[in-house]
Amino acid sequence: MYDNNNIFAKILRKEIPCKKVYENEHSLFFYDINPQAKIHVLGIPKVSCIDLTDFIKKSDPKIISSFFKSVNLVIDKLDLNESGFRIISNSGKDGGQEVPHFHVHILGGEKIGRLN
């Protein structure tokens, strides 16, 4: 079940500040507090969803499309298209997810190492 008190829910309610990169009616993008690359941005939809599969299951296709179009827009805004980037979305225990609100990590600005 979705936990309304997770950190990203608090960020969406503006109870906790964030360093915003982009926001529209469906999503918010902000810098990760503990960056794992020169550029490390998190993107979250404004839907109470735990992970990617929960987001896809419970959201209108227009909201899903809007979120991923915003991911594209942020990649452009960060000027990562030419140099490249990595997108990660962790889910659950085995995926190493810490914050139980669906988010994508956008990593770039330098060569990102292999995961294994």
Residues 6+ apart with CB under 8 A from 69: none
Residues 6+ apart with CB under 8 A from 15: none
Whole-angstrom distance, CA of residue 52 vs CA of residue 54: 5
Q: Under the criterion CB under 6 A, does residue 90 sit at the interface with ligand 5GP?
A: yes
Quick note: the x/- pattern for ligand 5GP over 67-86, rule CB under 6 A, is --------------------
CB of 7 to ligand 5GP, least distance (A): 5
Q: Which is nearer to ligand 5GP, 94 or 98 (CB)?
A: 98
- The token pair that represents 83 in the structure block: 């140099």
Q: Phi first, then psi: what are they for 75, rounded to 5°? A: -60, -40
Q: Which is nearer to ligand 5GP, 66 or 90 (CB)?
A: 90
For residue 103, indicate whether it is catalytic.
Answer: yes
Q: Which residues bind ligand 5GP (CB under 6 A)?
A: 7, 16, 18, 30, 32-34, 42, 90, 96-99
Catalytic residues: 103
